[in-house]
C-alpha cells in the first residue's frame, strides 16, 4: 500500500492478496474480511489508511483503501521526521 495512494477492489481480491502471504490469522471468506475491516477502520486511520465501502454496483461492492499520507516522497519524509523527533531531548 505504501507505493500506491489508492487501492480499490473487492473483498475477494483483497483476500487473494492476503493469501499470498500465508497468514493464518486472516479471515477465510470475503464476508468475514469485510466485517473485520469495518471493525478495524478506526485503527487503520491511526496509521494513515482510510477504508471506504463503496456502493454496490453490478452485484459487487468495492473497498477503497486510501493512503492519506501519500504524496511524492511524503511517506518517507514523514517517517523520517518521526525518527528525528525521537532524537530530540525531552
Mind listing the pLDDT tens digit for each residue in 31-77? 999 999 999 999 999 999 999 999 999 989 999 999 988 754 555 55
**Domain range list for the chain:** 6-87
Residue 73 is predicted with a pLDDT of 52
The grid cell for 7 is 487501492
pLDDT over 50 at 22, yes or no: yes
Cell 492476503 identifies what position? 18
From edge to edge, which strands make up the β-sheet containing 62-67? 6-10, 62-67, 49-53
Mind listing the pLDDT tens digit for each residue in 77-90? 555 555 455 555 54
Amino acid at each position: 500500500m505504501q507505493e500506491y495512494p489508492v487501492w480499490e477492489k473487492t473483498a475477494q481480491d483483497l483476500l487473494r492478496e492476503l493469501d499470498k502471504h500465508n497468514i493464518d490469522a486472516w479471515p477465510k471468506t470475503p464476508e468475514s474480511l469485510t466485517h473485520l475491516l469495518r471493525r478495524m477502520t478506526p485503527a487503520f486511520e491511526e496509521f494513515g489508511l482510510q477504508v471506504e465501502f463503496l456502493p454496490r454496483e453490478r452485484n459487487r461492492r468495492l473497498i477503497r483503501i486510501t493512503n492519506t499520507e501519500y504524496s511524492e516522497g511524503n511517506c518517507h519524509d514523514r517517517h523520517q521526521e518521526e525518527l528525528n523527533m525521537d532524537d530530540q531531548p525531552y
